Chains A and B, each alone.
Chain A
Amino acid sequence: QSALTQPASVSGSPGQSITISCTGTSSDVGGYNYVSWYQQHPGKAPKLMIYDVSNRPSGVSNRFSGSKSGNTASLTISGLQAEDEADYYCSSYTSSSTDVVFGGGTKLTVL
C-alpha cells in the first residue's frame, strides 16, 4: 500500500482536461510544498513534470499544471493529446524517517 493515494485510472478525450488527485497527510503533502509529479510511458524512465506543487521544469508543456489544497495535491492536464497517455506518479517529501513517498500511480487513457 502506497503512502499517497491516487486514483488507479482516469480517462479523457483529446482536447479535454483531466485532473489526477494525490492525497496524503499533514506529514507529507499537507505539511510541505515539496510535491512533484512524474510521467512514465511504458518501458521508459519517469520524467519530471511538476515540482514544488506547481512549478514546471523547462521544456514541459504549459498544458500541465499543479495545485494543492490541504492534504491533496492535483495534476491537471488541459487540451489532452494522445501523447499524454501514460502513468503518472505523485511524490512528496515526508517528515517520517524515509524522506520521500510516492503515490501508487494513475494510468491516463486518452480515448
Chain B
Amino acid sequence: QVQLVQSGAEVKKPGASVKVSCKASGYTFTSYGISWVRQAPGQGLEWMGWISAYNGNTNYAQKLQGRVTMTTDTSTSTAYMELRSLRSDDTAVYYCARVVVTAMGDYYYMDVWGKGTTVTVSS
C-alpha cells in the first residue's frame, strides 16, 4: 500500500537548521510530487511548497522563500525538506504528502499524507 514514512521528532535552537525526510513506498516515486505542509500548535494547515519527483522542479510559499529547500533522492524514493534560520514560530508538526500531478506535470492535489514530524524550536 502507498505509504509515506517521516523521520523522527527534532528539537532545535533558534538560528539552527532542520532537515526532515519522507520515505515513499508502494508506488512509482517519480510519477508524483511531494508537498510539505506544516501545522503550528492549535493552528490550521500551512502549505510550504512542493517538489516534482519527476524533474525536481520546486515551488515554495512566498513567506518561506530563501529559508526552505526541498529535494528528492529518486534512488531511495525519499523526499527532504530543509528549513534554515529557525525561529520559535517555526515550531510545528511538519507533514509530507503525495502530490497527484496533471498531465502537464502541474500540481493537482495531495492524496496520501505522512504521519507528521514534530519540530520544536526553543532556546
Contact = CB atoms under 8 A, between A and B. Distances in A.
A47 interface: yes
Contacts, number: 68
B95 interface: yes
Nearest to B98: A48
B47 interface: yes
A46 B46 CA distance: 12
B62 A89 contact: no
Interface residues of A, number: 25
Q: Is the interface of A mostly helix, strand, loop or mixed?
A: strand
Nearest to A98: B61
A2 B106 CA distance: 23
B47 A57 contact: no
Interface string A84-111: 0001010101000111111111000000
B62 A97 contact: yes
Top 6 A-B residue pairs of the complex, sorted by shortest distance between their CB atoms = A105-B44, A45-B113, A36-B109, A51-B109, A100-B47, A102-B45
Interface of A: 2, 34, 36, 38, 40, 45-48, 51-52, 57, 87, 89, 91, 93, 97-105
